[in-house]
A and B are shown apart, each in its own frame.
Chain A
Amino acid sequence: MRVALFATCIGDTMFPDAAKATALLLTRLGHDVVFPPGQTCCGQMHVNTGYQPGALPLVANYADTFGDTSIDAVVAPSGSCVGSVRHQHEVVAERYGTASLCGQVQTVKAKTYELSEFLVDVLDVTDVGAYFPHRVTYHPTCHSLRMLRVGDKPLQLLRNVRDIDLVELPEADSCCGFGGTFAIKNAETSTAMLADKIRHVADTGAEFCSAGDSSCLMHIGGGMSRLQMGAKTIHLAEILASVESRVHA
């Protein structure tokens, strides 16, 4: 399959390892991975902060970049960005865009997938041949869970990783408190939510807290770094891309 990687703005700039891992993993699984260089951002931050018209050029750019009919699927290592493509692009296009943009948005949205969905639903694989000899706990992230309904697909994938010690995160489905600009506008409430999430991670004794969204991991990781906790954050894609010859340090 010809798969276009959507690295997401934050992934491309701040967390390239998750995008690299996605590219390497899909390539290893035998797919022709391309990176359309025209891509930028899905516009989620604009929509969620109240700037819908400001999201229009980003929605249009996304539709243009990935509208290419030679692309069979678009895959992003981010539940929230895929959530935005699936649930918000249409609203923005219908309000501020042209009829042709609305059509394009529909087409592109139908072939955009979050990584774990793509692996399990489209490729029908739950064992990607990964090896990761560490104690890991998984935070399912709100948008993957509730906007995309990925369910336990990430866990199905993780359970098949060789030598992984996967431990359940208490109150896993409660929000980590990120919420984009919420973390700044309501910093104290956000921090209170983060404190509980971090406490739960600490309780598992995991070396790594994993998730399918770099922005949530930036939040959780930022708090753990401040507390100088030993545990680190790692994107789901990085675990799945790990093989014995290149074990993640």
Chain B
Amino acid sequence: MSAVTLGLPSFPPRSPEGAGFLRGTEKFPVAAHHELANAQLRRNIGKATHTIRAKRLHVTGELPDWEELRDAGSAIKTDVMARLPELLEKFEAAVIARGGHVHWAADANEANAIVTELVKATGSDEVIKVKSMATQEIGLNEHLETQGILAYETDLAELIVQLGHDKPSHILVPAIHRNRSEIREIFLREMPDVDPNLGDNPADLAGAARKFLRHKFMTTPVAISGANFGIADTGTLTVVESEGNGRMCLTLPKTLITVMGIEKILPTYQDLEVFLQLLPRSSTGERMNPYTSMWTGVTPGDGPQEFHLVLLDNGRTAALADKIGREALNCIRCSACLNVCPVYERTGGHAYGSTYPGPIGAVLTPQLAGMHGKDDPNSTLPFASSLCGACFDACPVKIDIPSLLVELRHQKVEQAGVTAESVAMKAASFAMSTSTRWTAAQKAAGLGRIVAGKKGKISTLPPPLNGWTAARDIPAPPKQTFRSWWDSDEGRAALDEARREGKAGK
């Protein structure tokens, strides 16, 4: 196909700027600076991630075929991405055949508008919500509020975040950055009719939330959910959760609206078998999540009588068009990569500025929303990793996040054109491309000994290298490089001696 066809854009659109939450306001290092200063946050997150990590290792270790399951999950997802259009059409037809309505949303703005219209048509100005990343990504609650519709999160942690006028900082445990006493304060401040003597033990806190939510479940006629999986064959949707609040939303109201990212498709019912093992073990460290809800269209006289499915693109086709980067769409949002990431552990989720934090966020966010120009906070995300690889090891569908990060760095650098860094890298590449040039450069490096002085170490460097010396010394370069030692009498003598020692030892 030619690059320009009938005036259609040659590359699918990214998520539009200013809509939803796929772009923060600060670059990662700046945002991280603020978060790193919050010792309480670091303690809360460190404690929580360590606990989940240990649980996950325990339950994945129990399965003799864990690696095969990961391979199967990865293969199914890769197949889905390869034939996504076909599967989506099949899925759409199946949902309609079972009495559902299907809407296609190109981006956050369209999805928000569709949902608003659907809610307004019911006459309700309140909705209850099942925890959903897709609706957070598009900023649905905030949009509904501008339209006079109040959305109540029913997942306990989401509720804490919502009542705290805060943003989630973790995919699975959005209030991971809060501890019990902070939660108690939020409840006391924000919940109507809460017992002023509320304690801060989990049972008391859950009790207060239960009382608050029960009323909402019984009186709200519209629910909005996301979906963990959509099955192309049957048109079935699935939500997995721990508390049962989601199931209340999925069964009690008259109208159910589901917003699902188009990448969440599985070809057949049988494929669920793989993912219902991979997901709970990877995310909460449980063998099985307590509630798995599935629904297919509408069933007369039982459950919601009107069902709408909004299929969300919002940059997913753009990610799909990138042969290498599309692997990120395989993500099942288990958050295992967050829980093992040393960077996430120190900075928390807010530093990433997106609904998707942590390692997967660092690759997914720039793919969905782009990383335009040097001032775009998203352009710093691919560099927000030490490439330690813990995320790749933990990922249940084996997404090679470090390689994707390196790939995005490459794309970023290509976009950026000539910069001070690119000039330095080019010079380094030139200097290291032959040993003649390299040995000359090594002589220059030897000058570092003069900088180091008598202390034998360098403790201050000019920008941009001052970040290193803010907390770390650099030893003075040695008098002799290895190669000059190798060519020296001393080197030859040492090797001769080692040879003799070897012979003697035989």
Contacts and interface: CB of A to CB of B under 8 A. Distances in A.
A178 B410 CA distance: 20
Contact of A185 (B36, B383, B430, B499): B383
Interface in A1-50: 7, 9, 11-17, 19-20, 23-25, 27-30, 33, 35, 37-41, 43, 45-50
Interface in A60-109: 60-61, 65, 87-88
Interface size class of A (residues with CB under 8 A): 35 or more
Kindly name the residue among A33, A39, A65, A188 whose own CB sees the greatest number of chain B CB atoms within 10 A.
Answer: A188
Nearest to A51: B425
A41 B442 CA distance: 12
A16 B390 contact: no
Interface stretch (B74-82, B185-193, B463-471): B463-471
Contacts of A145: 389
B214 interface: no
Interface stretch (A115-123, A201-209, A222-230): A222-230
Contacts of A9: 432, 438
Contact of B501 (A28, A181, A182, A194): A28
Contacts of B198: none
A186 B494 contact: no
A182 B387 CA distance: 9
Contact of B342 (A11, A35, A187, A193): A193
B210 interface: no
Contact of B343 (A20, A189, A191): A189
A204 B160 CA distance: 40
B502 A186 contact: no
A30 B506 contact: yes
A186 B410 CA distance: 18
A156 interface: no
Nearest to B484: A16
Given A14-B477, A179-B386, A185-B29, A193 B346 contact: yes
A20 B485 contact: yes
Given A13-B442, A50-B410, A146-B388, 19 more contacts: A12-B482, A13-B445, A23-B498, A30-B502, A51-B426, A57-B429, A57-B432, A58-B432, A87-B403, A174-B388, A182-B385, A182-B387, A183-B468, A184-B464, A186-B32, A186-B343, A191-B471, A218-B475, A222-B472
A55 interface: yes
Interface string B344-356: 0011000000000
Given A51-B425, A222-B472, A61 B386 contact: no
Contacts of B486: 23, 35
A126 interface: no
A189 B347 contact: yes
Contacts of A192: 36, 42, 346
B495 interface: yes
A40 B433 CA distance: 7
A3 to B, nearest CB: 13
B434 interface: yes
B384 A186 contact: yes
A40 B438 contact: yes
B147 interface: no
Contacts of A184: 464-465, 467-468
Nearest to B46: A196
Nearest to A38: B435
Interface in B54-73: none
Contacts of B413: 49-51
Contacts of B485: 16, 20
A218 B472 CA distance: 9
A191 B470 contact: yes
A61 B409 contact: no
A222 B42 CA distance: 24
A143 interface: yes
A238 to B, nearest CB: 13
A137 interface: no
A191 B468 CA distance: 9
B481 A12 contact: yes
Given A13-B442, A54-B425, A184-B468, A189 B36 contact: yes
B287 interface: no
Interface string B133-155: 00000000000000000000000
B340 to A, nearest CB: 9
B403 to A, nearest CB: 8
B374 interface: no
A243 interface: yes
A52 B494 CA distance: 39
B428 A142 contact: no
A174 B342 contact: yes
Interface in A108-153: 129, 142-143, 145-147
A187 B467 contact: yes
A28 B502 contact: yes
Contact of A187 (B470, B483, B503): B470
A61 B78 CA distance: 36
A225 B478 CA distance: 17
Nearest to B499: A27
Nearest to A193: B342
B286 interface: no
A154 interface: no
A221 interface: yes
B180 interface: no
B200 interface: no
Contacts of A27: 495, 498-499, 502
B329 to A, nearest CB: 21
A212 interface: no
Nearest to A227: B471
Across the A-B interface, the 3 shortest Cβ-Cβ residue pairs: A179-B386, A187-B467, A222-B472
Interface string B394-430: 0000000001001001111110000001100110111
Given A58-B432, A146-B393, A184-B468, A24 B498 contact: yes
A189 B387 CA distance: 13
A181 to B, nearest CB: 8
22 contacts: A9-B438, A12-B482, A20-B485, A27-B495, A27-B499, A29-B502, A45-B428, A51-B426, A54-B428, A57-B433, A129-B505, A142-B387, A142-B389, A173-B390, A179-B385, A182-B383, A182-B387, A186-B28, A188-B29, A188-B470, A222-B473, A226-B473
Given A20-B485, A175-B342, A175-B386, A14 B478 contact: yes
Contacts of A218: 474-475
A160 interface: no
Nearest to B503: A30
B386 A14 contact: no
Interface string B486-499: 10000100110011
